Structure 1
């Protein structure tokens, strides 16, 4: 390993294909016009984010690797090695510089930082004797003003109140899953106004979940099933959008069994401190 004279950040020697030992780097001009993003693939994320950065700057092509390196204060060689998939130590300071250079939003930054914190697992299943979790269920049951529900990291419905069941009777089914209902059930495409846009937002959340836990069998199976639908496949391949949490997300619903007019709601998401991975969501009319 050598160090960049600009920052002292270690620069990998012999970074594999396209690295220093091969004597060449992949040409900027050879990069594909579209980036088929795969979850948990940092090089693909970086290429896609460079493309978005170029669009934000009003350019017709991706932000060049050389410019990203200059913005970070590292050598072009170091950045190219990173984007080629070399094993490079990524400190939080380095990731912050990278996020700034690519002009990433808060959700993309969260996903990027997870590469530094990926050894931390927060997807612990509830223990049957956990009294705090039982109290959380009781809290959901007690809500009478807004539809309220509890989901785990894979969008499995854990608990719901009576109003949620009235609005969305499917939650009563065994193994009810919010993501599967939204993306796979034809009913959702009628009940959710502007379904295609909302589906793309759910897929962006799924992408974030897979960045965090790419080997989670529940999530990988969920993605495999969802992408069998051609519309979902098209939305997934459309770009590198990532959403960490749907806090404050607004959408409209057409629920004839609840209201003769469309309902506009905002999703308020709460993260229980003692149950990482679980989300409590209330749908508040707007």
Structure 2
């Protein structure tokens, strides 16, 4: 979505956050920002206006934007300068070190993805819990949103799907891999339920850090498994994500899987 569209939706969201029955009026936004109503209307109409960091900070405060929404605002307003996540390819040695970190984990599932959620590597438990990572070209987002097995294994799937779609929307607004992410989005939106959730609004989320959720994996445990996801971002390689799923209590895998280390090419 364009910045002008986002601003209109965020005014509505601000009204909800402030427990009002309607969107914050343009006039009120302008007054609280200390700018003229005409200036703000021009901004929301998509006209070319000057946007300083101070103006963006005031706009973020008035519209009650969260940190992820602020990053998208700055990325849209400043053409991504200084706020877009760095999706640069790291040196082979550094990526190998990350793969070794992931595959060395023996207490909980762990995996490594690139900026388009392609699976670059995983450990034994990840392959045991989620065998789909063994497939050629495995992609976390594609599995979570478009594979019906995910809807059975991830309890409260629709809530998860809303978060994943918000993460995909954030990536589309900040990443340099536009073509790959557009292709991923088109694939996901073939699903009617994903299309419905996508159309509900421009919610953006950078990472699902510290999120607790429940899994139903009969091949791993006869009981539901509650895990907390921890996301680690390597310095200078923010396009990569090391994710670890920490079980609330120990879970014994039903069978052993040989550790696998994969080098996936970016989604094209």
TM-score (norm 1): 0.82
Question: CA-to-partner distance for each residue in 1:165-184, whole Å, 9 max, x for gaps?
Answer: 00000001111000000000
Q: What is the DSSP-based 3-state SS (H/G/I as helix, E as strand, rest coil) of the residue aligned with 2:242?
A: strand
CA contact (8 A) 1:133 1:275 kept: no
Question: Displacement, 1:112?
Answer: 1.4
Q: Which has the higher contact order (CA 8 A, sep 6+)?
A: 2
2:15 alignment partner, one of 29, 37, 54: 54
Alpha-carbon distance between aligned partners in 1 of 2:149 and 2:6, rounded to the nearest angstrom: 33
Aligned to 1:134: 96
Alignment RMSD (CA, Å) = 1.5
In structure 1, runs of 5+ residues without a counterpart are 1-37
For the pair shown, the structure with the greater C-alpha radius of gyration is 1
1:229 is displaced (CA, Å) by 1.0
After superposition, give the CA deviation of every residue in 1:79-113 in whole Å (9 maximum; x if it has no partner): 11111111223222111100001011122112212
Matched with 1:264 is 226
SS at match of 2:244: strand
Query: 1:165–1:171: 8 Å Cα contact kept in structure 2?
Result: yes
Task: Name 1:185's counterpart in structure 2.
Answer: 147
1:123 aligned to 63, 83, 87, which one? 87
Report how many residues are paired: 245
SS at match of 1:266: strand
Distance 2:203 2:238 in 1: 23
Q: Which runs of 4+ in 1 moved over 3 A?
A: none
Note the C-alpha offset of 1:215: 6.5
Q: Which structure 2 residues correspond to residues 1-286 of structure 1 after superposition, within 5 A? A: 38=1, 41-115=2-76, 116=78, 118-119=80-81, 122-127=86-91, 130-213=92-175, 216-286=178-248
CA contact (8 A) 1:140 1:148 kept: yes
1:117–1:268 CA distance, 2 compared to 1 (3 A): farther
Q: Equivalents in 2 of 1:145, 1:279: separation in Å?
A: 19
TM-score, scaled to structure 2: 0.88
